[in-house]
Structure 1
Amino acid sequence: MAVDLPPRAAFAENPAASRGRKVPEAESRTRTAFARDRDRIIHSTAFRRLKEKTQVFVAHEGDHFRTRLTHSLEVAQIARSVAGALGLDADLAETIALAHDLGHPPFGHAGEDELQVQMKGFGGFDHNVQTFRVVTRLEQRYPRFDGLNLTWETLEGVIKHNGPVADKLDKPSWAAIGEFDADYDLRLGTWASAEAQVAALADDIAYNNHDVDDGVEAGLFFLKELLDVPLIGPHVHSAMADYPHCDQRILRLEAVRRMIGAMVDDVMIETRRRAEIGGVKSAEDVRNLDHAVVGFSPDMVEDLSALRAFLMERMYRHWKVNRTRSQARRILAEMFQLFMSEPDVLPHELGQKASARDEAGRARVVCDYIAAMTDRFAIEEHRKLFHLDVLS
């Protein structure tokens, strides 16, 4: 039976009324402005590289664990579904979800932590800012402009999906955002669209669920250990009660599926409640609120906090994961320091660019090069640079 989606919400973004692109372009004959943005992201080099960038486990550790690419696809699927059910523009929500991790370096948060250390004194590093730089500058695919020339609404969502960011502009790592905004106002002190907020919540839903799945798959904890953990525990109990003779792997997947459904339902109920109480009647009303219109209920926030605490203790800080994080940070630190001291070992064009700049400029070239690497490429590049066996 076909599912009837609700009519367009009064506070949904309208692609026909988009504020346009920084560099004007003729409209597509076959796609809305937001769908065109989505396609540009999917075809970008940075998006393809996500297939071998760490989510929690380094990409070569197993074929079944999530990477940044599969994570982004899961976020996009949830964002599109939630946006459609709320009467929002599903293309815009999906687009922002697909783009949200384009700036992540190799080795996940370990890579980001190390680049922050190496870039201290050279303008810093922030993966959200790097994502914005990727879509506005670093991707080079078009003759008329750098970046992807995305719509105002997509750019706003990329940098503001977690909330207003005007208070971050005094951080060195956010200088690029201030420079861009001075020339193309993204209203950094307001909330982004409801679609962008949906993408942010979809990120939370996706990673908390797939990290539970991957954690059990990796043997870091067992399904039975989740029985008393808030949020996931009740769904493990109900899955076991409904299917007492089922394989443990299928039970795990069923429990995760149910948790996703519960979190999605909670977001939809809470968002409708907030929109009604706040008298939200337009996309502009969403931006002018002093809080997010899309969110979890207080009970869900409490349960989610407890689940995250469990994952932090049992997964993100597990000794096996810590060991990988330590190795990853050494790889990036050693490459960064070598490229800074010997820019002539960089690929020719990058080496010339790095050599022609001052120390801070050279550091940014090196940082951009490393941040764009996949896990596998970073490991191989490090091996070539530091292991003599490649010369034999």
Structure 2
Amino acid sequence: MADVAGEPLLVSRLVQPDVLVVGGGIIGTTTAAYLARGGASVTLVERAELASGPSGRSLGLVSGPHPPELRSIAERSLQAYLGLARETGAFTIDANDVGCLCISPDGRGLPRGEGEALDGDQVVEAEPLLALRCAAGVVIPARHVDPGGAVSAWAEEARRHGARIRVACPVRSLLDDGGRVAGAATDEGAIFAGCVVLATGWETPRLAAGLGIDVPVRGVRGWIVTTRPAPFRLRRPINEVDFSAGVVAGPLLTLGDIAEGNVGTPIIAAQMRQDAAGRLVLGASLAPAIGDGDDDGAHAVPSICRRAIELIPPIAEVPIAETRTCVRPASFDGLPLHGPVDGIDGLVLACGHRSHGLTWGPGSGEAVARGVLEGEWDPALSPARLEQKASA
């Protein structure tokens, strides 16, 4: 057996699992947990630490709006979080809906079919500190959740059902056995498996490229600002209308764009929540990622702060605590990729969740595990859908 570059592999002494899950975020750990619950032998490998990517650098809010194709997955995710939190006590999630105020200055772009619609006066009543006059708003269901704690709890759930979790174990390439993926080459040697699930976010295209596959996922850089405790409290989380579609639908950057410095301006929309200690977590920005360094796109931070102050002026006097950034995976149509890749046996994708990985995570993990175990896949989320659109 050789890796995709043809180099000999060190045979690992690890037990060969039925399924190898690559990626230790919320998608990978929930997929591993549901697979193990279903009786599969599972090994999960993570290149760094659990929740070291987007899952651990999110606003920590389980909320919509959801595309119609994801509403069932979102509801199953919420119930799974609540159930595991009650059973284990290993992480925190709001027991009751706190509501998220979605706002729109001109009333356009608000979610439909979710939550309670508000007129402009009702928006002011919903959040008296809001200085921005809005034509309309919607309060949609939302709950705070501890992202890192949730990922760790799902990893422990996977272990409890027999899964092996390996951290600091980066995958260098996938093993190609004549058109079938037979495992992965890691820094600890080769791990052979009957099926490999890539829950590797924006790095999925790099791993799949060695097999001659171009996965239609791009990296989208986002920044979040966290403050010290504020001397006031927001009544509920606040989100401007969903803005990620602008990056998803935008053209891919070319080498010429980067050479000329035409990397675009980050899309900024206010997203804010307040934790139990009174700290404000502010977002958000989205821009095409052009590197994996934490200095990529740092100029978005002042824009996030300006927009937050425009909405809630007292924020201007609150001391800053930290900034965080990560690269989120966005498919070309904004929906995640769940399912096998045509023409390559033994490979399953579980990626492309944009900034909604935490919200859709357990439901996605359950759906991917069910597909692996039972062969049932939702065609609306199948990777083949984008291939069909490209050839249409």
TM above 0.5: no
Normalising by structure 1, we get a TM-score of: 0.24
Structure that is richer in helix per residue: 1
Normalising by structure 2, we get a TM-score of: 0.24
